[in-house]
Amino acid sequence: MAETLHIGRKISRIRELRGMKQETLAAELGISQQAVSKIEQSAEVEGSALEKIASVLGVSSEAIKNYSDEAVIYNIQNNYEGSNNHGPNIGHQFNFNPIEKLVELFEENKTLYERLLQSEREKVELLKHNK
C-alpha cells in the first residue's frame, strides 16, 4: 500500500506517459537530471516543488497525488477501446441526408443542362430565320 503514496513514482509515471525524459523535466525546472532522479525516488515531495513539477507536466498537483496506473488503464479502456461513447467529434454526424443532397445536385445540373439546350435551340432557330 506504500506505493500508492509514493509521489516520486507517480511523477515518474506521468512524465513517462507524457513522453518526457528526465533531462527535459530537469531543464524545465532549472535543476539537474540527477535531482529529478532523486525526486522520482522520493516517497514525498515538498508542496511548492510538487506544484512546479505538476505545472511542467501539464497536470495539477492533485492529479499527481491521486494518480494510479489502474485509473489510467480504466480511463483508456472505458473512453477509447471499443467504447460506445464516442463523443461528438468521432464519426460523421450529418444534419442532412447526403443522398438527398446528391440527388438535389443532379436535378440542379439537369435543369441547367435543359436551359442550355433550350438556349442552343433558340440560337439555331434564329440562325435559320436570318438566312
Rounded to the nearest 5°, which phi and psi values hold at 43?
Answer: -70, -30
Q: Is 15's pLDDT higher than 70?
A: yes
CB within 8 Å of 47: residues ≥ 6 apart: 61
- The three grid cell numbers given for residue 30, joined into one nine-digit string: 532549472
The whole-angstrom separation of Cα 39 and Cα 62 is: 17
The whole-angstrom separation of Cα 122 and Cα 128 is: 10
Q: What is the mean pLDDT of residues 97-116?
A: 81
Q: What's residue 70's pLDDT?
A: 79
Q: What's residue 78's pLDDT?
A: 66
Which residue has better confidence, 81 or 98? 98
Q: Is 42's pLDDT higher than 90?
A: yes
Q: Give 34-39's long-range contacts (Cβ < 8 A, gap of 24+).
A: 39/8, 39/11
Highest mean pLDDT among 18-32, 60-74, 89-103: 18-32
Which residue has better confidence, 50 or 110? 50
The whole-angstrom separation of Cα 8 and Cα 25 is: 13
Please provide the average confidence, as pLDDT, over all residues in the chain: 81
Q: Is 34's pLDDT higher than 90?
A: yes
